[in-house]
Amino acid sequence: MGYPGGCAVMLKLPEGTCDVLHKAATAWSAGHDDWKVVHPRDYHLTLQFIGRDLNPEKIASSICGVAMFAFSDDRAPQHLRLTGAFGAQITKKGRYLVARAMMDPLAIARGQLRQFLRNMEVVPKDSFEFRPHVTLAEAPPSARVPGALPDPLSPFSVEYQELVVKYGPYRMTMQLAKKG
């Protein structure tokens, strides 16, 4: 009896970064009627999918694990490096225009988060390979993926300061602890 989308831990992107990515996605999608641009307030990078159909105890444990991760001594606002490249991802559920992110230092943060979750007896799902990205536009499975993607941007780094735990329509945002 879970919610569509299940439970996930996401990195919230700064507003300025969302504006840059939204501009590229909007310009690209103008000639592609099947494609819907994601609203910039919904731009995020999923750090870890936790699961679907979770009972209230698992949801509470997940939130506690994420909070401990967010407020741990060595946690502080982190940098996310976007490659500047765009890509198309195809799944059974649909087609997606994505902005690609570099694995480092996300792999370290993701490993630490997973350990905090395991400490709370929450086993994260690993249905998909971790390919860090931000979804910018989406289309139904029947849509054609255009051959030309948006022109690449120069690679850039952004500081993320918030983690979001999302379960269905519910969201909980946590500020990362500041050092000092």
What is the spatial order of strands in the sheet that 156-160 belongs to?
A: 36-37, 133-139, 95-101, 78-90, 156-160
Domain ranges of the chain: 7-175
Q: What was the pLDDT predicted at 4? A: 56
Q: Tell me the fold of 7-175.
A: Cyclic Phosphodiesterase; Chain: A, (3.90.1140)
User: Are the C-beta atoms of residues 75 and 176 closer than 8 Å to each other?
Assistant: yes
Q: What was the pLDDT predicted at 76? A: 57
- Angle, nearest 10°, between helix axes 106-119 and 56-70? 130
Q: What was the pLDDT predicted at 1? A: 44
Compute the half-sphere exposure of residue 149: CA atoms within 13 Å on the CB side of its CA. Answer: 17
Q: What was the pLDDT predicted at 160? A: 80
Q: What was the pLDDT predicted at 177? A: 62
Q: What was the pLDDT predicted at 180? A: 52
Q: Which of 180, 161, 155 is nearest to 99 (CA)?
A: 155
Tens of pLDDT, residue by residue, the chain (180 residues) = 445 567 888 888 989 999 999 999 999 988 888 999 999 999 999 888 888 777 777 777 777 778 777 767 666 567 888 999 999 999 898 999 999 999 887 888 888 888 888 887 888 777 678 889 999 999 999 998 887 888 999 999 888 878 888 888 888 888 776 555
